[in-house]
Each structure stands twice: as structure tokens, then as C-alpha cells.
């Protein structure tokens, strides 16, 4: 190790506006990096240790070593292995995102930790591989969309290809998106496995749904670039319907979408892996109505400017 200075790294959260799950199978998706996420610091320690702290309350959410039997520990162990860290390091990560809610907290943490570790050892060359190894623990078969968003800002189209991610930044007018945390999240790998099972049992049907989701992504990119929020909202509603067809929505997520639409949203859909977690809505000039309708029902709402 070169230094005993405290070394830091950042990683951002993300919101998927179109195309989750189908993106795993190579279809286009649209996501935005959120201007908040995770901040990690690395210091020499007595043993390898990763402490995750909630940015709002300052509370320690989880503290693990690489040999513990939980997903975060396995991810930490993967990051240390790929980054080739041998001498003990203590990492503290402050997370400014709801955890496990489909907003990319696992990729934000991994990016922040790997960037801090890279600064610690003075070698940035393994960051991408180390974040991917960590994401594989959480996602099973990650498309890479969360990783790309955690490392880059802005609104982009993303496609997984055998040669690596193909991405395109979307030019767009300023827009505000609304996010509602409608229920506790479940593990992304569980939902990815559920969709994989469906593809095994019902391949023709599942691939037809993926194709339709991919088409929506392409139409949505065009709608966003011409600031046609009405069309983009309509496409979000249809995308939610197709995610229901894949079996990843829940009563709470459907309810939060309907509440948003009734309060004036042009579109609303679940975001991320589903099974719980968050809904995203587009409601130009009706943002306050939608946020009020969600919060009246006891759901936490967030707004982000793209």
C-alpha cells in the first residue's frame, strides 16, 4: 500500500425509465444516472471490513467482512479479489439512496468502493471488472445498465451486446421525474431468476414480451428527444403492463402506478427488478398532485431533475 491517507470514491444511483429485464436479453433500455448515490472512503484497517451507513440517519445499516455469509460480504470479497487487495482495508460507505428499491444502490456502493480502493492502491485499471464481479453477486446475470449509470451521469439508451455495452446519450429538454417507494424491495437476483424461469418454461411468449419492451425503448428514445412527454408517458404505462406480464409487479407497485395516473401523471411504471421497491412517474405540471397523492397514502416520494 502506498499511503495511509483517507481515499474516497463515488458512485451514483440510477432510475430505469424503460426496458428493465428485457435489457438482460439484449434489448434496448433507457436509464438516467441520479445525481446522488454512495460515497466510500478507504483506510488501512486491522482486517478487511466494509461498513454501510445510511446517509439520512447516519445509522450503520450493515458491517461485513469478506468471509461473512451475506450477499454484501460476497460482493466485498469479489471486489477485493479483482482489485488484488491483500493488506487489510477498512471501507466506510455512506449511501444516499433507498437500499434495495430498484434505484441501483448495489452498483452505486460497488462503484464507490472500487473507486476508493483504486485510489488506495493507485491503480484504476480494474475498477470496471471489480464492479461487474460485485454486481454479479447481486444480479446473477447483470446487463450492466446499473454499472454504466453508476459510473456516468445523464439520460442514456443502453444495450447489452456480446462485445460489451452499446450506449447513446439522449439529448433532451429538462424534465422532472417522480419516484415513489411503494414497498420494500426484494433481491434483484431473485427477480432475474424468476424471469429466467419464465423464459425457460414459456420461451416464445417471454421473448415476444422482450421484443415488445425493446420496441418501446426505441420509441421512447425518440419521444424523449422530441420532448413528447405525452407519448413517453403512454409508453411507460405500456411498459408497466408488459412487466406485469413478466410477473415482476406487485399489488403495491400497481396501486402506486394507478394513484399517480389518477393524480395527473402521463405515465407511471415500476422501475428496477420489481417484486417491491419503487415506481417512476412522469407528470409535467402535475408533479405536486402526484407527490401529494403518494404521500397521503404513506409512501415516500422523491423528485429528480433530469
Instruction: Please report, as ranges, the residues that interact with ligand PMV according to CB under 6 A.
Output: 16, 20-21, 23-24, 102, 104, 139, 142-143, 145-146, 188, 192, 272-273
Which residue(s) pair with 43 in the sheet? 90
Please identify, using beta-carbon distances, which residue of 7 and 30 lies nearer to ligand PMV. 30
DSSP helix/strand/coil, 140: coil
Please identify, using beta-carbon distances, which residue of 25 and 229 lies nearer to ligand PMV. 25
Helix (H) or strand (E) holding 108: helix 105-121
Q: Which residue lies nearest ligand PMV, judged by its C-beta?
A: 272
What b/e sequence results for 178-201 when a residue is b if at least 16 CB atoms lie within 10 Å of its CB, and e otherwise?
A: bbbbbbebbbbbebbebbbebbee
Which residue(s) pair with 8 in the sheet? 41
DSSP structural state of residue 303? E
Return d(Cα 44, Cα 47) in angstroms, integer: 8
Please identify, using beta-carbon distances, which residue of 24 and 89 lies nearer to ligand PMV. 24
User: Smallest distance, Å, CB 144 to ligand PMV?
Assistant: 7
Please identify, using beta-carbon distances, which residue of 41 and 189 lies nearer to ligand PMV. 189
Among all chains, which residue has been given the C-alpha cell 493507485?
A: 122
User: Smallest distance, Å, CB 22 to ligand PMV?
Assistant: 8
User: Smallest distance, Å, CB 217 to ligand PMV?
Assistant: 12
User: Smallest distance, Å, CB 119 to ligand PMV?
Assistant: 25
Please identify, using beta-carbon distances, which residue of 85 and 146 lies nearer to ligand PMV. 146
User: Smallest distance, Å, CB 43 to ligand PMV?
Assistant: 28
Question: For 20, phi and psi rounded to 5 degrees?
Answer: -60, 155
Amino acid at each position: 500500500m502506498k499511503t495511509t491517507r483517507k481515499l474516497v470514491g463515488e458512485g451514483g444511483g440510477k432510475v430505469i425509465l424503460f426496458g428493465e429485464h428485457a435489457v438482460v436479453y439484449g434489448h434496448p433500455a433507457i436509464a438516467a444516472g441520479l445525481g446522488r448515490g454512495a460515497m466510500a472512503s478507504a483506510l488501512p484497517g486491522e482486517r478487511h471490513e466494509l461498513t454501510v451507513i445510511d446517509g439520512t440517519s447516519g445509522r450503520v445499516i450493515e458491517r461485513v467482512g469478506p468471509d461473512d455469509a451475506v450477499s454484501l460480504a460476497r460482493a466485498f470479497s469479489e471486489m477485493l479479489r479483482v482489485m488484488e487487495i491483500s493488506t487489510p482495508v477498512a471501507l466506510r460507505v455512506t449511501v444516499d439512496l433507498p437500499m434495495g428499491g430498484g434505484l441501483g444502490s448495489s452498483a452505486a456502493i460497488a462503484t464507490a468502493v472500487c473507486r476508493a480502493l483504486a485510489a488506495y492502491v493507485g491503480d484504476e485499471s480494474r475498477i470496471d471488472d471489480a464492479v461487474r464481479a460485485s454486481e454479479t453477486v447481486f444480479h446473477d446475470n447483470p446487463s450492466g445498465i446499473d454499472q454504466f449509470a453508476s459510473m456516468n451521469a445523464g439520460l442514456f439508451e443502453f444495450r447489452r451486446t456480446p462485445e460489451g455495452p452499446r450506449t447513446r446519450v439522449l439529448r433532451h429538454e429538462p424534465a422532472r421525474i417522480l419516484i415513489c417507494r411503494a414497498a420494500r424491495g426484494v433481491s434483484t437476483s431473485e427477480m432475474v431468476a424468476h424471469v429466467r424461469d419464465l423464459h425457460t418454461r414459456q420461451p416464445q411468449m417471454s421473448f415476444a414480451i422482450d421484443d415488445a419492451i425493446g420496441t418501446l425503448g426505441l420509441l421512447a428514445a425518440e419521444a424523449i428527444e422530441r420532448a413528447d412527454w405525452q407519448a413517453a408517458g403512454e409508453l411507460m404505462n405500456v411498459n408497466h403492463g408488459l412487466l406485469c406480464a413478466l410477473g415482476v409487479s406487485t399489488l403495491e407497485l400497481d396501486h402506486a402506478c394507478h394513484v399517480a395516473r389518477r393524480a395527473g401523471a402521463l405515465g407511471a411504471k415500476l422501475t428496477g427488478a420489481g417484486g417491491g421497491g419503487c415506481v417512476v412517474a412522469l407528470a409535467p405540471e402535475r408533479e405536486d398532485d402526484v407527490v401529494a397523492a403518494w404521500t397521503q397514502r404513506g409512501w415516500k416520494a422523491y423528485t429528480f431533475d433530469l
